[in-house]
Chains A and B, each alone.
Chain A
Amino acid sequence: MKRMTFGHMTIPAALTLTLVLAACGGGQEDATDAVDDATGAVESAASGDAPASDAPAGDASGEVVVDGSSTVAPLTSAAGELFTQENAGVNVSVATSGTGGGFEKFCLGETDISNASRAIEEDETAVCDENGVEYTELQVATDALTVVVSADNDFITCLTVEELATLWGPEAENTITTWDQVNPEFPAETIELYGPGTDSGTFDYFTGEVNGEEGASRADYNASEDDNLIVQGVSGSANALGYFGYTYFEENAETLKAVEVDSGDGCVAPSPETSADGTYTPLSRPLFIYVSNASYADKPQVASFIDYFVANDAEIAEASQFIALNDEQRTALTDAAAALAG
């Protein structure tokens, strides 16, 4: 073994010590209650006890397992966070396997709630029936599916549905590779495309509306279930284009530009208003959560969470920058939730 002298070894030790001290002293900002409670909880957690004994505790405890659409996930995560602040004993975990992937697990009884950016399909309902999973569909928000380009992009403001179909259709694979093939006025730059994967409800909805058939799409683009990767990809290049839910555009409005869509009546930009009054077509769509009736009945923490979600739907949507329901849709929601509880 090589010998390293004591002197040499003090260098990493001293460095460690200095950095640790700097970190500890580096800022005691934020005097919210949560920090005080959590500090007490850290001690107990470090010694292996149950967490957050000081934080306000609701009656519920246990796990709520959520999976599904990455478009809806921020909404459910926000609901989960706000809910946990009042019910600290509940663990809400939100995964993003895509609308399709979420339904697969949901219909096997593995999850309590499934996030979905499209309605459940017949073959998925069949699997649920097979496994005896009964569910309730709740529309919790509206989405204006947004086509985005980089803020540095200077040649696209508006695209017609036909141009989108040219760009994204199955025949475009390996054929439509430069922008001037979509519109002769665009420069002859290489197209970079980003979009959701095939398990995404956003993918299903977009391809259904633009290409005429759900699932029909070119395959040679950067596909990802994680919409944040699409944001990163599109914002990093002036020749890139992508599509996802409106929230992701809202959150990244500085680096992205929303493309106006012309479905025959002029160019319309996506916004909560144009989505609510129907002028932004064909890319307005409802967002759902599907609740397992069995989970609602058997797990009080799930029932508590859903009740909280429904009651505070408007605040949750606003907090996470989603398009809230209009009054008609809100009534439908409360009715459906009442049916679930009753």
Chain B
Amino acid sequence: MRRTFVKTVVAAAVVAAFGGLAYAQQGKPVKIGLLATLEGPFAAGGADGMRGAELAIKERNGVVAGRKIELVKASSDAKPDVAVNATRKLVEQDKVDVMVGPLSGGEGIAVKEYSKTQPNITFINGSSGAQATTLVNPSPNFFRFNTEGAQWMVGLGKAALDKGYKRVMVIAEDYAFPYSQVQGFMSEYCRLGGKVPVKAWVPLGGKDYASVIARIPKDVDALVVVLGGADAVNFLNQYEAAGGDKPMVGGSITVSQDILNYKGKRRDSLVGTIAGSPIADSYDGADFKKFVAAYQKEYPVSSGAYPSPSLFALVYYINMKAALDGLELVKGDLSDGQKKYQAALAKMTLKTPVGDVKLDANRQAIGTTFITEVVKDKQGNLFNKVLRKVDGIDQMLGMKKEEFQMGSRDVPNCP
């Protein structure tokens, strides 16, 4: 009798202990680090990115798989060494379990390199969109659930030819992200017979486009402008003042909310511009409309947010949602060096507001892009109307591995 009693007590104690442990794991908050550029030229985009990520957390009321979500934020200024320092602090000092970020391409490559030194932490991208991050020396624990710069431009080459632009000039900033955008555009455009006689690579941060404008040949039909932020605004201004009137084809960061919201009158010249982008304000998918409504409710314009979520908000939202959905799949179990979690992330199909996303062998997203055109609505605000939605784009852009070449200043070429 006593033995049975003791056995029962011991058994109960053991069950309680394990249950307690499980409960302790259940109750223990999961720490997620969030990195975006809150300083410097991309500061506005970084702030919106953080809003997008926080929206994903708010959707779940701050809890995932029974565990409370503790968000630790960090900021960089688009410099890779600052991003790595911030990431290292989050991972090694604040001991986050999952890392989401960074924002810009160069930072992404640097954080990816760092992730190789921390195999037991899962790194998920923020919005960095350089091809090399997952194509060259990929990291086994760095996941990118958003499509990158080249993927965003698939379908635009054909759209440009449909509009009658048989010869175009490329004007883009001189760094990795525009290279991938131009490559994404030109692979299709050149293959279908388009010609690009001149490519002008302008230095990042350069403000004086007079020389580039002077070099625009008379016989091009349109300008493919892959400039972001201040540069695009500046260029448009100077181009119109110099008497230019050629239509434009935009990159993804050219006609994003950053530019459509800028406070000058020059933006009228943007109407009619086609672009390739992972987000389109006017997309009428039900999930997307829900996402936009949630963003607008949570972040009214008076608080400093945009009237409609920007590319950064959407992409950060997608990546944070991936982090949380993955946690849900493994029921919050991050033991065994997070191997189960990382395996789940690699295999899962993520439902995003703009379509489904799966990962390829390099943990790069296979996803969706929109071909858009700029129109003005009744209130006079500019927005991107959807011309076409392209799904299932992989990082090889539909080409065979042998014929695929990563974008650079001279690749691809079809003068």
Q: Do A and B bind each other?
A: no
Q: Measuring CB to CB, which residues of chain A are less than 8 angstroms from any residue of chain B?
A: none
Q: Measuring CB to CB, which residues of chain B are less than 8 angstroms from any residue of chain A?
A: none
